[in-house]
């Protein structure tokens, strides 16, 4: 009898999306021989519903709940949760739930489940409430009991209790909400700064996943301190004038941010404006309230105060801990002892291990065990075990902390419910002892039953459950020998390698919990020339990303402490782990695969995997595999060939243009012209053979086209920062290095009455006659927050939104009328390129007024992403396939196809089709013409032996053969010929070496300094040198791209073909700028702070204000946008070399004193004049290095007390040497005086009077 496990997930907390994704992981990984999973979704109002299983596989909660029909109108497309449906009654809530599953009365839960697995986070999950409720209902549950859960949730209580029990704690203070609302902010700021110092950590007392956490330093100032505490209380203060300054687009985006329950406040929220106080439940209401009140306000000095209903009652302020951050899972063993698994170090770029870094593949790194000496790791384990015991935790806990440079261990965040995503610490550390996710979940359930029995030993049904489970566990080992072994190939070396690891890991987990299959993870690395295969141990399979796995394989070293921990955990692994578990990577070969596996699941994306290479290797060894065959894969990997194939057979496709790197090199301007003659802006640019939205960009203008082309061809690496900025690439977003770019017209609505982007999956089967049949799923509608669907929206839990099925219906035409037309086109496209197994087709659907449907295919993915959040699982679910069954169908087809090939009933052509050529551009408004694609294949004839060939026979008279050989004239001719060849080779080699090394021929190195890099490179190459370019940091004083140093130095003699190393000024970077407060709001002082950052300043406007000191900064403009002091405190970055236009106060007239510039270097003058609201006019004088040249004359000339108009230009005359009669130069770190050398107190100027008139 299987045990019914109710998986509780979702919930009302801010972590509900991670709980939803974690619950799905548990649902998929529970061993199907032991358990029946029952998904119990908890909604925002704490109602329970047995979720229809196909909803378990939605990408996020908002994809299915609230149901689309119940959503209020939202002109701005805001995504909402159930709380934003205004004032639903209990009956309304249950009616909504009935649309997604079977609502359950908690009192009747025992009719549906035997035990509860808790995957909830935060409130009503980790705070003891649900545990108490289940305990009262007589349902055993996983994890800690009521009191330990309450303690694990309340971080303020944790801190105090841990301090009482002698654990090291940073300095901390608990700030209650009521106290904060009445606090003297300045007094609190000063007090905290004195007692705790900087940096300071501010966190909510009851949140996880780093939600609401800020780390601030002293530069944040009072305003940053106040903002961080408000953020932790989920409170926001918005000045009305700041709202007014935002554009309509910025207002909508800001409301979206506020509506986000992770990064913003969430709804419902209280909004206070003066005496007015309202409760708002929907983002549209908030946007409308902001706009209405701002428009009606008599003055805009008021502020909106927003506070979420999901607020906090306490916030913790604590001193920042410097050290190595770690997380450690502690288990309760069956004998009652506590065992700490190897602690994991969290390696991150920023200070906060935030939501995106935690859960998005490839953005963070984890190292297990932490990089410390063995004694340090053991100290962490013992400390964690001690905390687990002293706080009376049960079953398991995840304990986070820091190891300081002094060796102090700070345990700062015990969690009684860990994240349950596939690569979470929970599964990651269990893999180090040999347990896969399915086995570890079995262990958690078994120990949880044991713990609950200790609490209630009289509960006979629970004891019976425990006995049933133990019996089932004992039978598992006998069944495993009968399973088919499936090798899962994942990783690769494409830009999709991280997603491939996620896909492969998901396939592994589905198969590991199945009855029929035993998965074997195989990591592929290497290059197109040589693939290298490794069977992965579980701990490497659960690494964060492909690069981590590759690095671990390349530098494999078993940590001695891991061996010790595995021995300590032997009682666990002997009962729960596989008998064939390995703990180190094992290299495999294609030839050896048939001895290791019965079949292969290719979980690779891009090249190799989707291009036919792997398929060719597997077919040669008669191994069944998933997906399309060699020929089809070689077409669909190429987006150009794919669409041209479809166009040839009459399907509508986007116009395309394929250009190469060679086209770019030969004539860059002609390259751009070809694109612009073929398409109007905006247009699409993409690699021809990458997927997952890799480098797919909407190009709006020539500037972006230039940046995209140079970046993908790696033609101007010195401009990479500007190129990435222009293309709006995210931090850490990879961009491929390719030899081709595919340009396409941007597909739009045109004359359609309805237009949407879809993605449609499918399966293939053999019918009873052995004919190929296509099962086309109902497609999903893809919604993106930007112009192109992002990686996060495709693969990060809770981030994107796919609507399945797509909203195809439009006024006058039903879904049932439109769907068959779309599916027909998708099936025809799949048949034309001979898709097999399964695939995903991305397309645009345009519905015309007469009901005709145009489906334009974008690309065909022969091995689509198989991560838990991808849409193909949602579509399969609508067709009746759970993910495990969907994967089983894919494998079954692969085995059937191989059987048919072995029987000779399939004769697939196995040579890739040559790429079609595109004819001349079509006339405007028409489709391009294409030449025919030759898809016929004639296999080469097998080599035949010559007709007269006779094999030699052994024996014969050997002595006679030697005599005959020596007497033969042929032998002596051959010897002579060999000697001649050797002599010729010797002379040719000698000549070649002399030419290569330029023996005896050296050339003098010229002086390339002060030249542009292009001119210097041209000169160096004309003398036979190679050139290597290095970059120095950007500076304002030297033009970007000018050579500032070289090696070898000028006048040295070296041989041709040697390399000249040139150093140039590199490109500018974005840098954070300080707040005005750091310069006491004074323009001159602030300008001095910006100078080292290489940012220019000018005064745009002087505003008379007698109340403020002269040159007090009011605000500045950058790229046309106004920035106020409050903007700077939030932190902004400016590109080096930019000019900031300041608006400052003035208390004097519009004239300034004429500065004395003579005897100053030009670099000083260029710094001095903008601060005086003057500028440089003509610069006269032929000098080798302008920055170091001296001013010998100026116009207008200097005269004591004389003034000139602000903004006036001064003509500068330069010479190499310092003018006569100049005072001695004094080395100083101070910036030049704004008086230009004039001593106002004495009325004297620095040089003699002869120089004061310009030296005339």
Q: How far apart are the first and last CA of the chain?
A: 108
Q: Which pair of structure tokens corresponds to residue 595?
A: 């001895």
Tell me where in the chain the CATH 3.30.10.20 domain(s) lie: 1002-1065, 1078-1102+1124-1252
Domain 1078-1102+1124-1252 adopts which CATH fold? Answer: Trypsin Inhibitor V; Chain A (3.30.10)
Question: Which residues in the chain are classed under CATH 3.30.1490.20?
Answer: 656-745
CATH of 656-745, one of 3.30.70.100, 3.40.1190.20, 3.30.1490.20, 1.10.540.10: 3.30.1490.20
| CATH number of the structural domain 1002-1065 | 3.30.10.20
- Which of 417-431 are b and which e, b meaning 16 or more Cβ less than 10 Å from the residue's Cβ? bbbbbbbbbbbbbbb
Pairing of strands 1139-1146, 1113-1118: antiparallel
- Choosing among 3.40.50.970, 3.30.530.20, 3.30.930.10, 3.40.50.20, the CATH entry for 3-141 is 3.40.50.20
Class of the domain covering 749-862+870-902: alpha beta
The tokens for 707 are 């940046």
Tell me the CATH class for 484-630: alpha beta
**pLDDT at residue 964 in the model:** 55
Specify the pairing of strand 599-602 against strand 586-588. Answer: unpaired
Q: In what order do the strands lie in the sheet with 3-10?
A: 101-104, 48-51, 35-42, 3-10, 115-118
Give the per-residue pLDDT at 978.
78
Quote the pLDDT of residue 283: 94
**Domain limits, CATH 3.30.470.20, in the chain:** 749-862+870-902
Residues of the chain within CATH 3.40.50.20 domain(s) are 3-141, 484-630
Query: Residues 782, 773: contact at Cβ < 8 Å?
Result: no
Q: Give me the numbers of helices (H) and strands (E) for the chain, helices first please.
A: 40, 52
What the block records as the tokens of 937 is 């294949």
pLDDT of residue 367: 86
What is the pLDDT at residue 440?
95
Q: DSSP class of residue 817?
A: H
Pick from 1003, 1000, 1011, 1005: nearest CA to 1047: 1005
Q: In the numeric block, which tokens belong to residue 104?
A: 């359950």
Among 705, 712, 721, 714, smallest CA distance to 669 is for 705
pLDDT for res 359: 41
What single string gives the DSSP state of each residue in 230-262? HHHTTEEEEEHHHHHHS-HHHHHHHHHHHH-TT
So what's the pLDDT on residue 990? 66
User: Which tens digits make up the pLDDT trace of 1163-1212?
Assistant: 888 888 887 878 898 899 988 888 889 999 999 998 887 888 878 899 99
Model-wide pTM > 0.75: no
Residues 43 and 82: beta-carbon distance below 8 Å? yes
Q: Tens digit of pLDDT for each residue in 848-857?
A: 999 999 999 9
Residues of the chain with pLDDT under 70: 87, 209, 348-364, 478-481, 691-693, 731-732, 784-801, 905-972, 990-1002, 1104-1107, 1130, 1147-1150, 1225-1256
């Amino acid at each position: 009898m299987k045990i019914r496990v109710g998986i509780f997930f979702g919930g009302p907390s801010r972590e509900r999306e991670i709980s939803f994704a974690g619950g799905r992981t548990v649902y998929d990984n529970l061993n199907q021989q032991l358990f029946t999973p029952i998904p119990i979704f908890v909604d925002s109002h704490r109602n329970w519903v047995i979720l229809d299983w196909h909803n378990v596989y939605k990408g996020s909660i908002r994809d299915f709940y609230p149901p689309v029909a119940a959503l209020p109108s939202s002109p701005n497309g805001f995504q909402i949760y159930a709380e934003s449906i205004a004032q639903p009654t209990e009956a309304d809530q249950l009616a909504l739930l009935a649309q997604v599953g079977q609502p359950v009365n908690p009192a009747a839960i025992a009719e549906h489940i035997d035990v509860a697995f808790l995957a909830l986070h935060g409130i009503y999950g980790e705070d003891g409430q649900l545990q108490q409720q289940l305990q009262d209902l007589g349902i055993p549950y996983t994890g800690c009991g009521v009191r330990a859960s309450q303690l694990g949730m309340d971080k303020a209580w944790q801190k105090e209790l841990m301090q009482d029990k002698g654990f090291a704690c940073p300095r901390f203070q608990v700030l209650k909400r009521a106290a904060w609302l009445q606090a003297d902010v300045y007094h609190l700021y000063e007090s905290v700064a004195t007692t705790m110092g900087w940096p300071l950590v501010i966190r909510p007392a009851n949140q996880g996943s780093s939600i609401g956490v800020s780390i601030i330093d002293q530069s944040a100032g009072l305003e940053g301190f106040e903002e961080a505490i408000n953020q932790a209380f989920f409170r926001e203060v918005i000045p009305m004038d700041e709202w007014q300054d935002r554009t309509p687009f910025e207002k909508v985006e800001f409301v979206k941010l506020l509506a986000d329950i992770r990064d913003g406040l969430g709804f419902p929220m209280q909004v206070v404006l003066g005496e007015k106080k309202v409760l708002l439940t929907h983002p549209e209401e908030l946007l409308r309230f902001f706009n209405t009140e701002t428009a009606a306000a008599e003055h805009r000095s008021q502020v909106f105060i927003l506070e979420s209903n999901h607020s906090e009652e306490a916030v913790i302020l604590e001193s920042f801990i410097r050290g190595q951050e770690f997380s450690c899972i502690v288990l309760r063993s069956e004998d009652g002892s506590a065992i700490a698994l190897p602690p994991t170090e969290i390696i991150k770029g920023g200070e906060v291990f935030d939501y995106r870094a935690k859960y998005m593949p490839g953005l963070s790194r984890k190292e297990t065990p932490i990089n410390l000496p063995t004694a340090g790791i053991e100290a962490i384990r013992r400390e964690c075990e001690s905390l687990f015991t002293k706080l009376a935790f049960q079953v398991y806990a995840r304990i986070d902390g820091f190891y300081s440079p002094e060796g102090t261990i700070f345990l700062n965040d015990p969690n009684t419910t860990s994240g349950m995503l596939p690569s979470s610490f929970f599964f990651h550390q269990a893999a180090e002892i040999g347990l896969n996710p399915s086995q570890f979940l079995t262990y958690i359930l078994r120990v949880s039953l044991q713990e609950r029995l200790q609490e209630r030993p009289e509960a006979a049904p629970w004891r019976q459950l425990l006995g049933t489970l133990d019996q089932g566990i004992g039978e598992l080992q006998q069944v495993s020998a009968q399973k088919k072994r499936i090798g899962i190939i994942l990783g690769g070396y494409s830009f999709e390698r991280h997603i491939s690891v996620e896909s492969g890991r998901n396939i592994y987990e589905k198969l590991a919990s199945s009855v029929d299959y035993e998965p074997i993870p195989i990591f592929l690395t290497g290059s197109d020339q040589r693939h290298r295969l490794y069977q992965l141990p579980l701990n490497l399979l659960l690494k964060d990303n492909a690069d981590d796995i590759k690095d671990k394989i390349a530098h494999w070293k078993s940590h001695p402490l891991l061996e010790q921990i595995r021995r300590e955990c032997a009682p666990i692994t002997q009962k729960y782990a596989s008998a064939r578990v390995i703990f180190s990577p094992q290299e495999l070969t294609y030839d050896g695969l048939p001895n290791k596996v019965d079949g292969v699941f290719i979980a690779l994306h891009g090249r190799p995997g989707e291009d036919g290479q792997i398929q060719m290797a597997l077919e040669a060894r008669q191994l069944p595999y998933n997906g399309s065959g060699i020929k089809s894969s070689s077409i669909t990997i190429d987006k150009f060939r794919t669409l041209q194939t479809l166009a040839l057979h009459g399907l509508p496709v986007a116009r395309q243009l394929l250009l190469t790197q060679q086209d770019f090199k030969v004539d860059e301007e002609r390259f751009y012209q070809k694109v612009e003659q073929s398409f109007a802006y905006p247009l699409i640019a993409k690699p021809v053979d990458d997927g997952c939205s890799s480098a797919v960009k909407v190009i709006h203008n020539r500037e972006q086209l230039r940046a995209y082309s140079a970046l993908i061809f790696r033609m101007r690496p010195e401009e990479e920062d500007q190129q990435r900025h222009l293309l709006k690439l995210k931090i850490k977003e990879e961009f491929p290095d390719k030899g081709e770019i595919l340009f396409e017209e941007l597909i739009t609505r045109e004359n359609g009455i309805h237009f949407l982007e879809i993605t449609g999956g499918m399966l293939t089967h053999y019918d009873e006659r052995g004919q190929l049949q296509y099962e086309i799923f109902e497609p999903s509608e893809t919604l993106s927050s930007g112009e192109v669907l992002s990686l996060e929206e495709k693969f990060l839990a809770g981030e994107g939104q796919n609507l399945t099925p797509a909203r195809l219906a439009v006024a006058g035409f039903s879904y049932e009328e439109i769907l068959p037309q779309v599916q027909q086109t998708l099936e025809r496209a799949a048949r034309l390129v001979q898709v097999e197994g399964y695939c995903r087709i991305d397309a645009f659907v345009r519905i015309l007024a007469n009901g005709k449907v145009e489906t334009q295919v974008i690309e065909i993915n022969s091995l689509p992403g198989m991560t838990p959040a991808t849409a193909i699982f949602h579509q399969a679910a609508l067709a009746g396939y759970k993910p495990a069954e969907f994967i089983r169908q894919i494998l079954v087809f692969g085995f059937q196809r191989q059987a048919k090939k072995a029987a000779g009933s399939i004769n697939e052509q196995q040579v890739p089709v040559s790429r079609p050529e595109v004819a001349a551009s079509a006339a405007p408004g028409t489709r391009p013409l294409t030449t025919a694609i030759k898809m016929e294949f004639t296999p080469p004839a097998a080599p035949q032996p010559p007709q007269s060939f006779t094999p030699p026979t052994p024996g014969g008279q050997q002595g006679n053969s030697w005599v005959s050989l020596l007497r033969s004239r042929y032998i002596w001719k051959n010897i002579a010929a060999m000697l001649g060849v050797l002599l010729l080779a010797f002379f040719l080699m000698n000549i070649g070496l002399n030419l290569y090394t330029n023996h005896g021929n050296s050339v003098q190195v010229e002086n390339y300094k002060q030249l542009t890099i292009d001119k210097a490179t041209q000169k160096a190459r004309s003398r036979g040198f190679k050139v290597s370019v290095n970059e120095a940091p950007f500076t304002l004083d030297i033009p970007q791209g000018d050579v500032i140093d070289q090696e070898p130095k000028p006048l040295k003699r070296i041989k041709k073909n040697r390399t000249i190393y040139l150093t140039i000024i590199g490109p500018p970077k974005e840098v954070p700028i300080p707040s005005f407060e750091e310069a006491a709001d004074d323009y001159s002082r602030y300008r001095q702070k910006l100078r080292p950052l290489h940012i220019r300043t000018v005064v745009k406007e002087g505003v008379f204000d007698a109340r403020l000191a002269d040159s007090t900064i009011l605000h500045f403009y950058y790229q046309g946008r106004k920035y106020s002091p409050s903007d700077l405190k939030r932190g902004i970055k400016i590109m080096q070399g930019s000019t900031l236009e300041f608006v400052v106060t003035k208390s004097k007239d519009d004239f300034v004193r004429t500065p004395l510039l003579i005897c100053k270097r030009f670099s000083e003058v260029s710094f001095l004049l903008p601060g005086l609201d003057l500028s440089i006019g003509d610069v006269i004088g032929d000098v080798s290095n302008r920055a170091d040249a001296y001013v010998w004359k100026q116009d207008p000339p200097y005269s004591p007390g004389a003034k000139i108009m602000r903004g006036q230009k001064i003509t500068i005359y330069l010479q190499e040497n310092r003018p006569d009669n100049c005072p001695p130069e004094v080395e100083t770190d101070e910036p030049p005086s704004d008086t230009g050398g004039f001593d106002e107190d004495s009325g004297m100027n620095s040089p003699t009077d002869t120089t004061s008139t310009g030296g005339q």
